[in-house]
Structures are given as C-alpha cells and as structure tokens.
Chains A and B, each alone.
Chain A
Amino acid sequence: MKPEKFSATALLFPSLLMALIVLGYPVYELLNTSAHSVNKFFNVGDFVAFQNYQSLFQDEFFRAALVRTVYWTVLVVGGTVLLSFPIAMILNEDFYGRSLARTIILLPWAVSLTIMAVVWRWALNGESGLLNLTLQSLGITHERIQWLAESSTSFPMAIMIGVLVSIPFTVTVLLGGLSSLPKDVYEAARVDGASGSIMFTHITMPMMRPFVSIAVVLNVIYVFNSFPILWVLTEGGPVNSTDVLVTYLYKATSAKFFGDPGKGAALGIIMLVLLMLFSLIYARIAKEGEDVRA
C-alpha cells in the first residue's frame, strides 16, 4: 500500500468505525431481539424465529398503521415538494424584502419539531385554542372545532404541520440547485426566442432533477421516521386511530402500552427493509431517467 493510499483510507476510517460500532451494535441487538420472545422488562427468552413478525402481520393495528404511514409519507412529502418548488423559485428572484422572506420561511428549521408540535397542540385546543379564534374571526368557520378529538381532523392537521416543518429544508436544497444553474444557458435560450414557460420546462426542470431527487429521498426517510408530531398531538389516539408505524413501534415496545419489545424489534427491522427497498427502487428510477436523457 502506498503511503498516499494509506492516509487516504486512514482518514475515512474513524467515521466508518464510529458509525459501525455506535449504530451496528444496536442493529445487531435489534435483529437478535426480533427473533426471541422478550418480556416487557427486556428479559430475553426462547428463540422464536419469525414468530414476532407473524404476530405483527396478524395484528390489525399494525396493518392500519402501515397503510396510514403510506398516506402520511406520500401526502407530507408530496405536499412539501409541490409547495417548496414555487417558493424556492420566488426566493431565487431578486425582490424587496427577500432576505426577510427567506428568514421567515427557513425559521421553523431552527425550532424543534417537538416544540412546534406542542405549540400546535395548544393552538388546536377546541375550547381556548387560537386557531379556532382566528378562523372564526376571519369568518372561515362558524363553530369551534375539536381538532384533536377525532382522527378525521387531527390526522390532516398533523399532515399540514408535517408539510410546514419540512418546507425549510426542502426549499433550501432546491434553492441551492436553482442558484447553481448556469445563467448562460438561459441567455442563449432567450436569444433564440424561447418563452418563459418553455425555459422552465426545458431547462429548469431537467437541470433541477438531481436536487428534487435529493429532496424526495431525504424527506421520505425523515417523514417516514418522524415521531414527534403525531406523538405530541395525539399519541396515536384516540384508540390508535392516528398511529403510524413509528408511534405504533413505540407503543408495542413500551411497558406503558403493549410492552412487547420483540414485536417492536421486528417492526424496526421491517421498517428498515422498507426504507432500503424504497432507496433501491428510487435509485433505479432516477438512473433510468438519466439514461433516457443521455
């Protein structure tokens, strides 16, 4: 090994080692636990192979949470990307008060999701909440709504909050993309008499593809794994009607709820597999898209 090559690898080594130990060991324990029967005090019993997985799939709450997670992820990420694109386009233009607008829109990033959710929980309070007050004084609604009492209103609200808190990161990624687009291409197109909409569909969209990809992949991972919003708002209730996989996983594991760590571990593994599958499929699709253009 050449000294050059040695130092190149040696410099990467600490980060690899740290991630492998700090995350690898818990993952090993997770796999191990998922294949054993475990009581609520985490005492590991007999080896049961796939029994924990089986009991999960027979559990109607799990199936409902799985479906709800798909809704949650698709709607939050979809809404976020759809809203973030025009916002990023605007923030990339030069106008009065641009840095103020940027600061306001990026602000939620600096605040913890948990605290955001705590504030919203209070704002959504049926009796004294300020959202009802605001909506009524604007004449949008006429009676007070008990937002968090039923999943039909609390889940959409959770999705809205999810979108709101995901916008800052997404706008920033897209803004980074937009500001890196070469100006001369647009100039050339303008000289050739291309209209604004043609430029958007033929230059901006294709060149932004990698940035949209990054935003989608990372957002899917973050939103799929997002625990605080739903936990703070409803704890997955009433009667598990707003559970997604993460809140259900916590309940399955915690002694305060179902107290079955084996099941919680199995669900963790299932979620990991789902995320890996998603990334693989997405990488394949993105690659095909590039091949088509190339």
Chain B
Amino acid sequence: MLKQVHSVPKTNVRKQNLMQSKSFKSVLFWLILSPIVILTLFPYAVMITTALKPATEIYSNPPTWFGTHLEWGNFSRVWEMGFGQNMLNSIWVTLAATFLALLVSFPAAYSLSRFNHSKRFSGFYRQFLLATQMLSPIIITVGIFKVVASLKMIDSFTPLILIYATFNIAFCTWMLQSYFNTIPGELEEAAWIDGCSRFQSFTHIFLPLALPATAIAALFSFIYCWNEFVLAFLVLRTPEHATITMRVFSLVGGRYTVEWELVMAAAVLATLPMVLMFVFLQRQIIRGLAMGSIK
C-alpha cells in the first residue's frame, strides 16, 4: 500500500470506512428493499391468514388479520372437494409437457452449441423461437379452440400437454444452449482422439455435465405448466379435469358469493409445491438463469 501523499481530513476517512462496512451496507440495502419486500410478502400474509380463519369471521367488520381461532379444518374441507384429483391432473400435465419440451429442446440446444450452423440459419432459428413466444394462448384463442374442437379434444389433457411443451421449447433451448457453450468442447474432442464415437463422447462426457442445467430448465417448465391459466380456462370444462390453478380460479370466477377461506386454503395448497422447490433451488436458479439470459 502506498502512503497517502496528501493529507485527507480524518472525518472523511471515518465516513469512508463506515460506508464500506458490511453491516452498514446491509442495513441500508434492507431499508431500500423494504417497500418491495413488504409488498411482495403482503399477498402471502393475506393468503395464509385468510386460509386459517373460521368461515363465520371472513366478512368481519371491521376486518382483522386473525380470527378468534386458527381454523385448520379449511384445508381438509378443500381436500374433500376433490382437490387431490386436481393436483394429480396438474402433476401429470406438468411432467408430460416438460418431458416433451426437453425431448426436443435438448437436441436442438446441443446442435446449436456443438455444430457450425450458417449465421443465416441460426439467425432464422432464433427469430423463429422468438415468434413462438409472441403467440400466447390468448392471442390464438380462436384458432386453438377450433382445432381442439375439431379433434374432439375439449376437456382432454392432450392439447394442454402439446401446447405447453411447445411454448417451453424457446426458453429451454435458449437456456440449455448458453449452458452447453460453457462446457469446453476439448473434453469431447479428446475422447474422439481416444477412439470414442461422437455418440459415446456425448453419453459419457457431455451428458453428465449437462444434467444440472437440464434440471433447471425442467424446473422453469414445471413452473410455467403448473401455473398456466388461459389455455386450461379455454380447453378444460369439468371440475374433475381442471388443473389446480384452474380449480382455484373456478371458486372465484363469475361468482357473487365467494367462500374466501376455502379459496385461500386451496391457493396455499396450489402454491406450496412450487414455492418449496423454488426456495430450495434458488441458488441454482439464479445461476442457471444467468446462463440462460446471455444473448
């Protein structure tokens, strides 16, 4: 360290140290973040406290955060309304669509990352992926409805699975491709020199390294499928066939009297699986996304 040549007033140095101390920074940052943190947590607080209120106290006047006692029975009442079936529907649609999306995205990402495509072709492919993002279910409502109706697939999971998978191709491919780009090609080339075929080097060397990113891509696809609403709203007709998100909405949509304590208990059940996954994997998610968002 060079000695400071010109003298700095002492107070300034102290201020500098204070500004740079981690504790001071932490307090300052949390203060700045507090409005957004409060606004983000507010709906969860509403959801959980309402789910635990007795039905008779929902429309209490003036409103209160907590009822006279915690009513855990709301959850079992929701369960008895057949929400287990809706959970299973969501799980099936989510897993099938994610599997399908990865089945086509993984090879596509591998190809983009490992083969030399002409600039023109890869540019076209990228534009094509972006275009799939513009075609949200709501925009092509009429087209989807006509096709699904003519194939006699109203109230069936098949169109949901196919369309969800297709909408996830773009994101999965982008993310996997940027991650694959970070896996050094030399590893595979070394294996070829040792006499491995391209396929062998892929399964023995590339695949194990690619699995973490694939898991993150799958998680994003899970979240999308689990939470999607518009398409389920258009295609599914009966409560037994509804996905969990759709079923929660059906307790509210177009109704004049809403049993909010049940709606919120159902919302907690619908939200829990994804939130838990998210909290456990948040570190990997941020890393995975940092990869996925590069160009």
Contacts and interface: CB of A to CB of B under 8 A. Distances in A.
A139 interface: no
Contacts of B215: none
B282 A103 contact: yes
Interface residues of A, number: 96
B277 to A, nearest CB: 7
Interface in B245-287: 245, 248-249, 252-254, 258, 260, 263-264, 267, 270-271, 274-275, 277-279, 282-283, 285-286
Contacts, number: 276
Interface in B101-141: 103-105, 107-108, 110-112, 115-117, 125, 128, 130-136, 138-141
A22 B112 contact: no
Interface stretch (B7-15, B76-84, B161-169): B161-169
B193 interface: no
B256 to A, nearest CB: 13
B230 A227 contact: yes
- The prevalent SS among residues of A at the interface is helix
Nearest to A220: B134
Given A95-B29, A115-B267, A104 B139 contact: no
B33 A101 contact: yes
B95 interface: no
Q: Which 7 A-B pairs have the closest CB atoms?
A: A112-B227, A26-B143, A176-B290, A30-B143, A8-B115, A11-B111, A225-B136
7 contacts: A12-B125, A15-B107, A16-B125, A107-B44, A107-B275, A122-B264, A227-B138
Interface of B: 22-23, 25-26, 29-30, 32-33, 36-37, 39-47, 49-50, 58-65, 103-105, 107-108, 110-112, 115-117, 125, 128, 130-136, 138-147, 149, 162-163, 165-166, 169, 173, 223, 226-230, 245, 248-249, 252-254, 258, 260, 263-264, 267, 270-271, 274-275, 277-279, 282-283, 285-286, 289-295
Given A99-B282, A134-B42, 7 more contacts: A26-B147, A30-B142, A118-B252, A119-B267, A128-B58, A132-B63, A172-B289
